[in-house]
């Protein structure tokens, strides 16, 4: 099986690295005391992971699963669900979503 060598888009790499820098600055500047700042953090996190994931994998399905998994994990940690069983359930549900999406496409 021969792979097609398509060039990677440098704009997504630039946006991903810029997102990491903005995310670090946002965490250092904004206090997580209101819902707007927390929503801003998660929105910036989703955009950053999506851009870096699209640069690395160039597969939309994998990027969606990766972004969803990281965001849900950090969201669960934020609301106080720190027991290891929640991480195991999250991994199991993401693997199940991957198999469902793979069968449908």
The domain limits of the chain are: 10-104
pLDDT at 2 over 70: no
Q: DSSP label at 1?
A: -
Alpha carbons 64 and 50: distance in angstroms, whole number: 7
Average pLDDT, the chain: 88
Evaluate if residue 105 carries a pLDDT over 70: no
* Cβ atoms within 10 Å, residue 57: 12
Cα 63 from Cα 69, distance rounded (Å): 10
Contacts of 74 (CB under 8 A, 6+ apart): 42, 45
- In this prediction, residue 103 carries a pLDDT of 74
pTM of the model: 0.81
């Amino acid at each position: 099986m021969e792979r097609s060598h398509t060039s990677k888009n440098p704009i997504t790499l630039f946006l991903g690295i810029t997102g990491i820098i903005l995310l670090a600055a946002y965490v250092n500047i904004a206090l997580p005391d209101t819902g707007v700042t927390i929503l801003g953090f998660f929105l910036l996190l989703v955009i950053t992971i999506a851009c870096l994931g699209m640069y690395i994998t160039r597969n939309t399905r994998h990027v969606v699963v990766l972004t969803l998994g990281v965001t849900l994990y950090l969201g669960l940690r934020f609301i106080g669900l720190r027991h290891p069983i929640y991480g195991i359930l999250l991994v199991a549900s993401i693997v199940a979503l991957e198999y469902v999406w793979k069968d449908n496409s």
